[in-house]
Amino acid sequence: MANCRYILHVENGIYFIRLRLTMPKLFDPKVEGMVLAFSTAGLTSWEIVKVNNISVYQRSVFNIIKNKGTKREAKSKGLKSPKKLNTRITVTPRVIQKVKLLTSKENPPKKNELARQHKVSQSTIHRLIKRRHVQRFHFRRPTVGFYGEYDVNIPQRQKKTGIALFQPERSLCSKTCV
C-alpha cells in the first residue's frame, strides 16, 4: 500500500502490529521549487535529500522531479488543478422528515415512488425505513373493498414476537361503500 504505516503496539506483554493509513503529504511550494532547482542543476534525488538537508523522503523527491500526482501532472500540462470530488449527501434531515410523514400514513407509497419523489435511490429509502426506524412496516393495503363486496378495516399494528403484522378484517360493506 502506498499511503500506510505499520505501528508496533505492546499491550500486556503482547506485541501487535497495526496498519495505519496516512494521507499523502502536501509539500510547501518553496520545497518543491528547491527540489526542482537542484534537479535541474544536475543533482540526483539522493544528493538532494542527504547533502542539502531537505526534510523529505527520496521517493517524494523523485515524485516531484517526475511530476507524479494528479495536481503536478495537470500543472505540467498547463491545465487547471483538478477539483476534489465530494459526494452529495442525500440523507438530509429534511428527507428523513418527509419520508417519516409519508410512511406514517395508512396507505404509504411504494419505495420506488418515494425514491423518485426525493431524488434518492431505492436502497437509501430502504435504509431509512429499516435502520433509522422511520416505520417498521411498508405494506400496501387497499382501503376500499375487494370487488365491492367487502370492506377492509386495517386494525392498529399488532406485535407478535417483535414482528409487525397486519390482519385485515372483512365485514360486509354497506351500500354507501359501493
Tell me the average pLDDT across 31-40. Answer: 86
> ∠ CA(51), CA(56), CA(60), 5° rounding?
110
CB 171 within 8 A of CB 150: yes
CA distance 109 to 115: 10
Enumerate the domain spans of the chain: 4-77, 87-140, 141-178
Which cell numbers hold the place of 110? 411504494
Question: CA–CA separation, 2 vs 21, rounded Å?
Answer: 9
pLDDT in tens, 38-97: 888 998 888 888 877 777 888 888 888 877 777 777 777 788 877 777 777 888 888 988
CA gap 176, 169 in Å, rounded: 18
- 148 grid coordinates: 365491492
The confidence score (pLDDT) of residue 86 equals 74
91 alpha-carbon distance from chain centroid: 10
pLDDT value for 116: 94
Q: How far is CA 164 from CA 15, 23, 105, 108, 121, in A?
A: 49, 47, 16, 15, 25
Q: Which grid coordinates are listed for 14? A: 503482547
What integer pLDDT is reported at residue 84 of this predicted model?
73
Helix 122-130 to helix 93-103 angle, to the nearest 10 degrees?
Answer: 80
Per-residue pLDDT, averaged over 126-130, amounts to: 85
Determine the average pLDDT of the residues in 134-141: 51
What sign does the dihedral 143-135-101-122 (CA atoms) show? negative
pLDDT above 70 (res 150)? no
Contact by Cβ (8 Å): 32, 26: no
Q: Is residue 112 predicted with pLDDT exceeding 90? A: yes
Q: Is 80 exceeded by the pLDDT of residue 142?
A: no
